Amino acid sequence: MRIKSGWIAGALALAVGLAGASARAQQDEGEKEIERYRAMINDPMANPGYLAVDRGEQLWATKRGEKNVSLETCDLGQGAGKLEGAYAKLPRYFADADKVMDLEQRLLWCMQKIQGLDTADVIKRRFSGPGRASDMEDLVAYIANKSMNMKIDPQLSHPKEKEMAALGEAVFHMRGGQYDYSCSSCHGEAGKRIRLQGLPDLAVAGKDAQAALGSWPTYRVSQSALRTMQHRMWDCFRQQRLAEPAYGSDLVTALLAYLNKQAAGGELVVPSIKR
């Protein structure tokens, strides 16, 4: 009887081991298929995200607001109107506003201060949808593309920049919502995945964070829309069942300051294209 029991236990262990090996093989093959799909669609000439870049370029030069001026004198950190490399160094501290801002925050500030524009409609259309264009998505695509192939260069010399990155790290590990999740629940450990999609480990500085942060904004084929990192943050909060962060909030800026710190040195290839 002992021999029979031992044989059964051994057979069960073997079956479990084979099932696990089969599941891993299927996951690996699935990941390879996803990579092949990405390679097929990763052609700038076939990336609809560049239509957003073109629209953003027009918006940047369009005169609007009570002052009837364009955004061409907006300082994104490199000097008035200078866009090359600006996105790679955001979020950063701006002395004229006395605060750390990401790109969307700074654009809203410039619209209000330089153009005298009522930004209520801009914020209402912060994310595009069927029959609804988004000025902010287009502007972010255009400005981000001006840092194409440059390195992510987080700004951490000012005390408020250091404070914002530290706050972002705390938010990254803060649990909450109906599921009691944090950002690190999904992105704080190597080897995690959701369905066939591998999840980058953003708690460790280096290649995962570099690849993730270096590919936004991106054109999402499944959504037929260009999406910004602001949208990615909003969607993560939604999936955690947390309250939606206000658009252009310091909370999101803090998270991006921390994530860009983790991604320092990564190459920006934007807008990218994803499933």
Alpha-carbon distance of 228 to 107, in angstroms, equals: 14
Per-residue model confidence (pLDDT) at position 10: 59
Residue with tokens 């607001």: 65
* 168-177 pLDDT per residue, tens: 999 999 999 8
261 has pLDDT over 70: yes
Indicate the pLDDT class of residue 94, thresholds 50, 70 and 90. very high
Pick the range with the lowest mean pLDDT from 21-25, 63-67, 95-99: 21-25
Among the options 74, 110, 183, 236, which is catalytic? 236
In the chain, % of residues over pLDDT 90: 76
40 has pLDDT over 80: no
Per-residue model confidence (pLDDT) at position 168: 98
Phi, psi dihedrals of residue 273, rounded to the nearest 5°: -140, 130
99 has pLDDT over 90: yes
Provide the mean pLDDT of the chain: 90
Q: DSSP states of 88-156 as a string?
A: GG-SEEETTTTEEE-HHHHHHHHIIIII---THHHHHTSS-BTTB--HHHHHHHHHHHTTTTPBP----
175 vs 45 pLDDT, higher one: 175
* 153-168 pLDDT per residue, tens: 999 999 999 999 999 9
* Average pLDDT of span 33-47: 68
If phi > 0 it is left, if psi is from -120 to 50 it is alpha, else beta; for residue 199 that is beta
Per-residue model confidence (pLDDT) at position 47: 92
Q: Is 183 in the active site? A: no
If phi > 0 it is left, if psi is from -120 to 50 it is alpha, else beta; for residue 129 that is beta
Indicate the pLDDT class of residue 70, thresholds 50, 70 and 90. very high
* Average pLDDT of span 70-76: 98
* Contact between residue 188 and residue 203 where contact means Cβ atoms under 8 Å apart: yes
pTM of the model: 0.85
* 209-257 pLDDT per residue, tens: 999 999 999 999 999 999 999 999 999 999 888 888 999 999 999 999 9
Strand pairing of 218-220 and 225-227?
A: antiparallel
79 has pLDDT over 60: yes
DSSP structural state of residue 268: P
150 vs 192 pLDDT, higher one: 150
